[in-house]
């Protein structure tokens, strides 16, 4: 029975002398207390020493992956030719399967007994393997451990996100310092030439004029066309002649120029740092830099700590990175949460219209979440994902800016929606209810009724508003009679006709209406002929017509109260007496 043992120095194959001691796992440690007792249990059969650290690293990587290396194959072939044993004890089961596939005549064994045996052999490794001291074995183990750690982490100088984080932070610090220095220079030189700050708004041109011109008296003799236009140079020269600034000494202008030189050096260093950052971002996260830009992508990585931490975040978190204070403030006060953080300064969001910026931020954050995962955990660096997503988002922005909308489901190709027109706006047409329905099988009669606002024959609910008119009309008449009892006869007849026309269309009521109309005609003729007896006939016929209308009113109007009846009786008596 053979035992395979891996070390940092090389591979060793031991021959097991006493197989019974493997069965007792509890008493196995006692057999390896000393080197002499260990030599009675196992004996070194073959040993292959690594030539250099590269061979040791390749062998350890292959063993970790469960594969065989060339040196291990050569060693096992030597052992099989030399020894006639058919069993091989291996610590790793995956490695045992690969050995079994290569050497099918061997019987591979891997169990808890084997792991305990190898642990005991490792304790007496220096005495069992001759030619290797403790210092050499410890140095080999340390070097192999470092090499293996680097290989597992897949160390690459192009994938270092720490450099990007530091570069972005330094870039932000430089921007703050440059702003402070420029502001100080403008305030300092403004005591001597205050009009220059209003003429030159660009900071670099302002600093260059101070360096080249110095005193304002030298403006007429200096050539400022290198860093500004002719119009601005003429304005500067004119303002220098009529300046209200104070006089300064040579020492003052000397130190002002020292400050301006520092500012120009910092701006040059900032430009070089920005170029370095763009190159690092292209190698580290190419898809993110295409979608967001190098600067914003680097700020997102620095805010999250690393590219891997950024890849672990969902799209909603990426959208709000940089707006944490506003988010928690909104949650505490129960107000609207922010829509974007650092991602707001991206080019795609600035191109989007104002109403669609929040929607564009959500879409861009979703694409960036996918791009960060590809850049962080992808083996190959490809720009295809970022380019495709950017093209899709740009097409969406162009669609929004053009004002076009997608086709509404359930509508035809040539459908044009009509605006609603109320019934009160006469002469302008009405809104067709046919456009609202998605069902094709509507009858023509129903459509015409809906368009003309004419009710169908089956509807019989138009009687309720007539009752309300019947109730309201006698009350109005009573008020008019109290005020104007001597009204004209034509007005009374018109009111009688309107009252009779509103009543229900039954046969008896129609007859009464005809009688009332005939009596009214006879009264009109009599009034024309007999002018003397006009008033008496009017009152009598008016009383008769009133009785008939009251009968009609009783059918539609509820019975009046006792007080109303009394008032009516008094009026009727007064009319008869007259």
DSSP 506-530: -HHHHHHHHHHHHHHHHHHHHHHH-
Q: Decide: pTM greater than 0.95.
A: no
Q: How many CA atoms lie within 13 A of 47 on its CB side?
A: 13
What pLDDT does residue 30 have?
Answer: 77
Per DSSP, the three-state class of 79 is helix
What pLDDT does residue 329 have?
Answer: 92
Q: Is the pLDDT of residue 521 over 80?
A: no
What pLDDT does residue 517 have?
Answer: 66
Q: How many CA atoms lie within 13 A of 484 on its CB side?
A: 8
Q: Is the pLDDT of residue 484 over 80?
A: no
Average pLDDT of the residues in 208-222: 90
Q: Is the pLDDT of residue 452 over 80?
A: no
Q: How far apart are CA 21 and CA 27, in angstroms?
A: 8
Which is higher by pLDDT, 131 or 323?
323
Query: Which residues are paired to 15 by β-bridges?
Result: 2, 43
Q: Is the pLDDT of residue 454 over 50?
A: no
Per DSSP, the three-state class of 476 is helix
Q: How many angstroms separate the Cα of 457 from the Cα of each of 40, 70, 85, 293, 462?
A: 117, 100, 108, 71, 11
Under 8 Å between Cβ of 110 and 92: yes
What is the tens place of the pLDDT at every residue in 335-394?
A: 999 998 999 999 999 999 999 999 999 999 999 999 999 998 887 778 899 999 999 999
DSSP string, 284-319: H-HHHHHHH-HHHHHHHHHHHSSHHHHHHS-HHHHH
Q: Is the pLDDT of residue 461 over 70?
A: no
What is the CA angle 514-520-525, rounded to 5? 130
Best CA proximity match to 481, nearest among 419, 567, 578: 567
The alpha-carbon radius of gyration of the chain (Å, integer) is 52
When the pLDDT of each residue in the chain is averaged and rounded to a whole number, the result is: 76
Q: Is the pLDDT of residue 307 over 80?
A: yes
* 236 conformational bin, left if phi > 0, alpha if psi -120 to 50, beta if neither: alpha
What pLDDT does residue 75 have?
Answer: 84
Per DSSP, the three-state class of 48 is strand
Residue 562: pLDDT band by 50, 70, 90 thresholds?
Answer: low
CA pseudo-torsion sign 174, 178, 180, 184:
positive
What pLDDT does residue 133 have?
Answer: 76
Q: How far apart are CA 86 and CA 106, in angstroms?
A: 5
Q: Is the pLDDT of residue 539 over 80?
A: no
Under 8 Å between Cβ of 451 and 430: yes
Q: Is the pLDDT of residue 196 over 70?
A: yes
Lowest mean pLDDT among 48-52, 363-367, 438-442: 438-442
Q: Is the pLDDT of residue 457 over 50?
A: no
What pLDDT does residue 43 have?
Answer: 82
Average pLDDT of the residues in 169-183: 95
Q: How many CB atoms lie within 10 A of CB 209?
A: 24
What pLDDT does residue 110 have?
Answer: 81
Q: How far apart are CA 248 and CA 193, in angstroms?
A: 10
Which single residue is written with the structure tokens 């310092």? 177
Which is higher by pLDDT, 409 or 82?
82
Residues in the chain: 578
Average pLDDT of the residues in 43-70: 82
Residue 262, both tokens = 């520092």
Alpha helices in 83-229 (DSSP H): 93-102, 112-123, 125-128, 134-153, 161-190, 196-199, 203-213
DSSP string, 374-423: HHHH-SS--SHHHHHHHHHHHHHHHHHHHT--PPPTT--TT--PPPP--T
Under 8 Å between Cβ of 27 and 66: no
Q: How far apart are CA 346 and CA 289, in angstroms?
A: 10
Residue 570: pLDDT band by 50, 70, 90 thresholds?
Answer: confident
What pLDDT does residue 258 have?
Answer: 95
Average pLDDT of the residues in 473-481: 47
Q: How many angstroms separate the Cα of 342 from the Cα of each of 76, 133, 294, 362, 421?
A: 60, 59, 13, 13, 48
What is the tens place of the pLDDT at every residue in 522-533?
A: 544 444 445 445
Residue 508: pLDDT band by 50, 70, 90 thresholds?
Answer: low
Q: How far apart are CA 152 and CA 146, in angstroms?
A: 10
Q: Is the pLDDT of residue 324 over 70?
A: yes
Residues 6+ positions from 102 with CB-CB distance below 8 Å = 68, 73, 76
Q: How far apart are CA 576 and CA 571, in angstroms?
A: 9
Average pLDDT of the residues in 202-208: 92
Q: Is the pLDDT of residue 503 over 60?
A: no
Which is higher by pLDDT, 152 or 214?
214
CA pseudo-torsion sign 280, 285, 290, 296:
negative
């Amino acid at each position: 029975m053979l035992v395979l043992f891996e070390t940092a120095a090389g591979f060793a194959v031991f021959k097991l002398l006493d197989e019974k001691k493997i069965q007792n796992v509890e008493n196995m440690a006692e057999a390896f207390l000393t080197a002499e007792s260990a030599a009675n249990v196992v004996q070194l059969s073959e040993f292959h020493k690594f030539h250099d650290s590269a061979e040791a690293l390749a062998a350890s990587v292959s063993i970790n992956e469960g594969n065989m290396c060339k040196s291990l194959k050569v060693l096992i072939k030597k052992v099989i030719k030399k020894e006639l044993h058919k069993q091989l004890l291996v610590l790793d089961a995956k490695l045992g399967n690969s050995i079994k596939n290569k050497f099918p005549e061997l019987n591979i064994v891997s169990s808890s007994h084997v792991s305990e045996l190898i642990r005991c052999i490792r304790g007496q490794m220096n005495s069992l393997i001759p030619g290797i001291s403790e210092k050499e074995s410890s140095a080999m183990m340390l070097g192999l451990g470092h090499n293996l750690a680097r290989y597992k982490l897949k160390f690459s100088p192009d994938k270092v996100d720490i450099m990007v984080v530091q570069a972005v932070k330094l870039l932000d610090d430089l921007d703050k310092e440059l702003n402070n220095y420029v502001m100080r220079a403008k305030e300092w030189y403004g005591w001597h030439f205050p009009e220059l700050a209003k003429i030159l708004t660009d900071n670099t041109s302002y600093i260059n004029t101070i360096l080249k011109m110095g005193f304002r008296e030298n403006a007429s003799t200096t050539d400022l066309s290198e860093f500004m236009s002719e119009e601005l140079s003429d304005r500067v020269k004119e303002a220098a002649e009529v300046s209200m600034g104070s006089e300064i000494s040579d020492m003052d202008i000397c130190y002002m120029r020292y400050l301006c030189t520092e500012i120009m050096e910092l701006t040059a260093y900032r430009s070089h740092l920005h170029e370095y950052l763009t190159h690092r971002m292209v190698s580290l996260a190419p898809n993110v830099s295409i979608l967001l830009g190098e600067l914003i992508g680097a700020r997102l990585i620095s805010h999250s700590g690393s590219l891997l931490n950024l890849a672990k975040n969902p799209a909603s978190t990426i959208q709000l990175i940089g707006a944490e204070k506003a988010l928690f403030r909104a949650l505490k006060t129960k107000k609207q949460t922010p829509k974007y953080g650092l991602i707001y300064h991206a080019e795609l969001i600035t191109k989007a219209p104002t109403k669609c910026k929040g929607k564009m931020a959500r879409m861009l954050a979703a694409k960036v979440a996918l791009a960060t995962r590809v850049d962080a955990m992808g083996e190959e660096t490809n720009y295809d994902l970022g380019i495709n997503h950017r093209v899709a988002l740009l097409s969406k922005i162009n669609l929004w800016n053009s004002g076009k909308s997608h086709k509404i489901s359930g509508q035809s190709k040539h459908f044009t929606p009509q605006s609603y027109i109320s019934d009160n706006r006469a002469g302008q047409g009405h809104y067709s209810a046919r456009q609202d329905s998605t069902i094709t099988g509507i009858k023509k009669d129903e459509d015409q009724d809906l368009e003309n606002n004419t009710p169908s024959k089956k509807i019989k609910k138009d009687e309720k508003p007539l009752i309300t008119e019947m109730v309201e009309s006698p009350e109005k008449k009573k008020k008019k009679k109290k005020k104007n009892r001597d009204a004209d006869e034509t007005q009374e007849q018109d009111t009688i006709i309107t009252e009779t026309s509103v009543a229900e269309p039954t046969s008896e009521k129609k007859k009464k209406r005809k009688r009332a109309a005939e009596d009214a005609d006879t009264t009109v003729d009599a009034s024309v002929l007999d002018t003397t007896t006009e008033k008496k006939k009017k009152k009598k016929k008016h009383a008769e017509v009133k009785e008939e209308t009251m009968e009609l009113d009783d059918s539609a109007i509820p019975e009046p109260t006792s007080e109303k009846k009394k008032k009516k009786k008094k009026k009727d008596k007064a009319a008869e007496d007259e």
